[in-house]
Amino acid sequence: MAPEPKRILVTGAAGQIGYAICPMIARGAMLGPDQPVILHMLDIEPAKQALEGVRMELVDAAYPLLMGVVASTDAEEACKGVDVAVMVGGFPRKAGMERKDVMSKNVAIYKAQASALEKNAAPGCKVLVVANPANTNSLILKEHAPSIPAENITCLTRLDHNRALGQLSERSGVHVGKVKNVIIWGNHSSTQYPDVNHATIDGKPAREVIGDDAYLDGDFISTVQQRGAAIIKARGLSSALSAASSACDHIRDWVLGTPEGTWVSMGVYSDGSYGAPKGVVYSFPVTCKAGTWSIVQGLSIDEPSAAKMKATGDELVEEKALAMECLGEAA
Ligand SMILES: NC(=O)c1ccc[n+]([C@@H]2O[C@H](COP(=O)([O-])OP(=O)(O)OC[C@H]3O[C@@H](n4cnc5c(N)ncnc54)[C@H](O)[C@@H]3O)[C@@H](O)[C@H]2O)c1
Ligand SMILES: O=C(O)C[C@H](O)C(=O)O
């Protein structure tokens, strides 16, 4: 017998990531090929007609796993009974803008939607924040939805993780499926630290296979840090298909588990592991089992890495203060 359908909320569903992720979810890329889903799509009033267009296309695509679509501009209605919430709604960065420029608009949205989720989501709902500033938006959501356990609120750094895997694959000529265990530490911003010190390529240490420490400590890091900006420059729009695909990867691994011997990067509420600041959402290496994530412990950290991990943590503390200021709250 087929399992009961799971309800998945996508906010900002009429936008570009929304348009890419809804069909992926309906095809089973998020919860697996045997799990029926009901899509809840939320957007704002000015996007109502476009949202209806997406709903019509989902019906037209006749997905076997898609058991229903709720398309709404009312956050309370859209959040009713959802098991997974993918929070994409907000304003994207445009060419020439720093992520901080989008902060004031987006944190206010996350404060407002926290209570809609808290009141209406199914118990145990897993939340993934994609909209930027992703770490700080998810922190604001957590602070304003106190009845949702902190461990159920995460942000997307899997895109950065996948970007790092992709770069190592291109450089080594080894298929990306054989590249494992990079780490994204900290913020989903240009201060993030993509760390290859524990990564493997075809089972061997990445540093040994690449054989070029100057590249790994230089261009590799800046390429991953700046990839979002490079996509904006190339497309005139921020990344969408890769963001959507990585968001599916994030939820799939969280719900169904990470493969044995493999970790992934997730932005989670910091417990201070590896000297990260507490009270912010910081990206760590995690493994997932039975719907829960745990931070991989005991990895050796050299001094240059520790300095980069601190710099991105410091930025998150600053972002938190700025967000609180935008919301008129004390940090
Ligand atoms: N974390 C990541 O890795 C990552 C990657 C790519 C993009 N992003 C971010 O994701 C967000 C969405 O990007 P996009 O390219 O889809 O943008 P987009 O502008 O195409 O779509 C955003 C949608 O959100 C809607 N929206 C605005 N306010 C809303 C609200 N209060 N409630 C519900 N919906 C609302 C808009 O109407 C629009 O349809 C941006 O903040 C972008 O910077 C994050
Ligand atoms: O960098 C951005 O503003 C877009 C997004 O966060 C990305 O990483 O592609």
What pLDDT band is residue 330 in, cutting at 50, 70 and 90? low
pLDDT value at position 99? 62
Ligand 1 pocket check for 14: Cβ under 6 Å:
yes
Quick check: do 6-155 and 157-318 share a fold? no
Q: For 311-326, what is each residue's pLDDT tens digit? A: 999 999 999 999 998 8
Q: What is the pLDDT of residues 196-249, one digit of tens each?
A: 999 999 999 999 999 999 999 999 999 999 999 999 999 999 999 999 999 999
Annotated active-site residue 188? The verdict is yes
Label residue 96 by pLDDT band (50, 70, 90): confident
Would you state the pLDDT for residue 42? 98
The dotted CATH code for 157-318 is 3.90.110.10
Q: What is the mean pLDDT of the chain?
A: 96
Peptide bond into 133 cis (omega under 30): yes
Ligand in closest contact with the CA of 46: 1
- Domain ranges for the chain, please list them: 6-155, 157-318
pLDDT band at 331 (very low <50, low <70, confident <90, very high): low
How far is it, in rounded angstroms, from Cα 28 to Cα 34?
7
Q: Which of 196, 160, 200 is nearest to 180 (CA)?
A: 200
Predicted structure pTM score: 0.97
**CATH T-level topology, domain 6-155:** Rossmann fold (3.40.50)
Residue 127: pLDDT over 70? yes
Please give the pLDDT value at position 306.
98
Look up residue 291 and give its two tokens.
Answer: 């719907």
Structure tokens at 53: 């267009």
Residues whose beta carbon lies within 6 Å of some atom of ligand 2: 93, 99, 132, 159, 228-229, 231, 238-239
H/E stretch holding 17? helix 16-26
Q: Is 43 annotated as a binding residue?
A: yes
User: What interface predicted TM-score (ipTM) does this complex get?
Assistant: 0.99
Q: Is 11 in the pocket of ligand 1 (CB under 6 A)?
A: yes
Residue 120 CA to ligand 1 centre (angstroms): 22
What is the per-residue pLDDT for 108?
86
Q: Where in the chain does DSSP place strands (E)?
A: 6-11, 37-42, 66-72, 84-87, 126-129, 153-155, 179-180, 183-185, 193-195, 200-201, 204-205, 264-269, 281-289, 292-295
DSSP state of 133: S
